[in-house]
Amino acid sequence: MTGTKKGCDHGQCGSCTVIAGGRRINSCLSLALVHQGDTVTTIEGLAHGDQLHPVQTAFLEHDGYQCGYCTPGQIMSAVALLDEVRKGQPSQVTPELRKAGPVELTPDEIKERMSGNLCRCGAYPGIVAAVQQAYGQTQS
Ligand X SMILES: Cc1cc2nc3c(=O)[nH]c(=O)nc-3n(C[C@H](O)[C@H](O)[C@H](O)COP(=O)(O)OP(=O)(O)OC[C@H]3O[C@@H](n4cnc5c(N)ncnc54)[C@H](O)[C@@H]3O)c2cc1C
Each residue 110-129 as x (binds ligand FES by CB under 6 A) or -, in order, gives: ---------xxx-x------
* Cβ 39 vs Cβ 22: under 8 Å: yes
Q: Scan residues 100-139 and list those touching ligand X (CB under 6 A).
A: none
Q: Scan residues 11-50 and list those touching ligand X (CB under 6 A).
A: 11-12
Q: What is the DSSP letter of 51?
A: B
8 is in the binding site of which of other proteins, ligand FES, ligand X, none (Cβ under 5 to 8 A by kind)? ligand FES
Is the Cα dihedral 82, 53, 43, 3 positive or negative? negative
How many CA atoms are closer than 13 Å to the CA of 50, on its beta-carbon side?
Answer: 0
Question: Measured from the CB of residue 4, what is the shortest distance to ligand X in angstroms?
Answer: 17
Footprint of ligand X (CB under 6 A)? 11-12
